[in-house]
Amino acid sequence: MNTRKILAAAASAALILGGVTMLVGDDAKQVAKTADIQPYTVPVAVQEQLDSITAELMLETDATEPVTILAEEDSNEKVEETEPVRAYDTLPEETLRELISAAQTLTGAYPDAIGWLIIPGTNINYPLMQGNDNDFYLHHAYDGSKLSAGSIFLDCRCEKHLLNGINVVYGHNMKNGSMFAGLAKYEDADYFKAHRYGWLATADRVYRLDFFSLAHADCDDSIYDGSQTITNWMIRLRGLSSIYEPISYSEDDRFISLSTCTRATGDDRTVLTGQLVEIGGDTDE
């Protein structure tokens, strides 16, 4: 059944987020909120396991295959498309259980939480929230308190169990390097290659995020529209990408785009997109 919902970006206050790069006036409060969430985070030992597993994934990916940097439209440069080697699709059972347990603890304490978003080797390690609208978590912490840094959150029109084909996640581009400020680093092809995998643990599933595109788009671009076919969306996404790795996909596949502002002014957004690969689940047996 088609569960996609329209992600009409122009109507969403979330896509205005980052219209100016956030000035950090409450760093101390942000640090305090980070400390408060520690009891609910994925255990350090499990995060270290993810780091190790991600490193293995990198080794299993063809290290000689370059990331495709797309030429300008008016260039005669030929861009070769080759299929990247896919990484393995399992995690140790205990690692799965620990990740899901951490997400269940989080969602039990905070009903708006979906789970944990982690990109090894980066500062991105945050609860993923979802509100009733796309305004609240722009300027509120995971516990509902006011915070200019806001939270990392899933567009309210996406299905909370990530059943949409196109899923969009927003985060501020903070001057202190937190939230989604690190997405700008993906502009460098070597950095992209070294950080091409992420993880999302929910209360019943664990997903691997296989990043393949770094794009720039206006806040009202059609890549934020989840009502279109995956094929049409992919064509548009590739046209906007400065870095792109060809992938195999079907209309039944699911994707996730991490979006933040690009510059201090204007409507340009940096969008890191990956394929959602379901690794496993646990229903308390």
Of the candidates 37, 207, 34, 18, the residue with the CA atom closest to the CA atom of residue 107: 37
pLDDT at 86 over 50: no
Average pLDDT over residues 9-29: 50
pLDDT tier at 145, thresholds 50, 70, 90: very high
Q: Which of 2-16, 39-53, 76-90, 153-167 has the lowest mean pLDDT?
A: 2-16
Average pLDDT over residues 130-142: 95
Contact partners, residue 216, CB within 8 Å, separation at least 6: 240, 242, 262, 268, 269, 270, 271
Q: What is the CATH number of domain 9-71+86-281?
A: 2.40.260.10
CA distance 92 to 53: 10
What pLDDT does residue 45 have? 95
What pLDDT does residue 90 have? 82
Q: Which of 4-18, 43-57, 90-104, 108-122 has the lowest mean pLDDT?
A: 4-18
What pLDDT does residue 89 have? 74
CB 14 within 8 Å of CB 134: yes
Residue, of 68 and 32, whose pLDDT is higher: 32
Of the candidates 201, 228, 208, the residue with the CA atom closest to the CA atom of residue 278: 208
Contact partners, residue 108, CB within 8 Å, separation at least 6: none
- pLDDT tens digits, 163-190: 999 999 999 999 899 999 999 999 999 9
Burial tier of 17 (Cβ tally within 10 Å: 0-12, 13-18, 19+): buried
CA distance 117 to 127: 6
Instruction: Tell me the pLDDT of the chain averaged across its residues.
Output: 84
pLDDT at 194 over 80: yes
pLDDT at 94 over 80: yes
What pLDDT does residue 111 have? 95
What pLDDT does residue 70 have? 56
pLDDT tier at 137, thresholds 50, 70, 90: very high
CB 117 within 8 Å of CB 169: yes
pLDDT at 3 over 70: no
What pLDDT does residue 8 have? 42
What pLDDT does residue 258 have? 98
What pLDDT does residue 182 have? 96
Q: Where do the structural domains in the chain lie, given as residue ranges?
A: 9-71+86-281
What pLDDT does residue 78 have? 39
Q: Which of 8-22, 71-85, 235-249 has the lowest mean pLDDT?
A: 8-22
Contact partners, residue 118, CB within 8 Å, separation at least 6: 42, 47, 50, 124, 125, 198, 199, 200, 201
Residue, of 165 and 64, whose pLDDT is higher: 165
pTM: 0.84
pLDDT at 74 over 60: no
Q: What residue type is 184 in one-letter code?
A: A
Count, residues in the chain: 285
> Kindly report the CA angle at 38 between 37 and 42, in degrees rounded to 5?
110
Average pLDDT over residues 267-274: 94
pLDDT tier at 17, thresholds 50, 70, 90: very low
CA distance 72 to 78: 11
User: Could you tell me what percent of the chain has a pLDDT over 70?
Assistant: 79
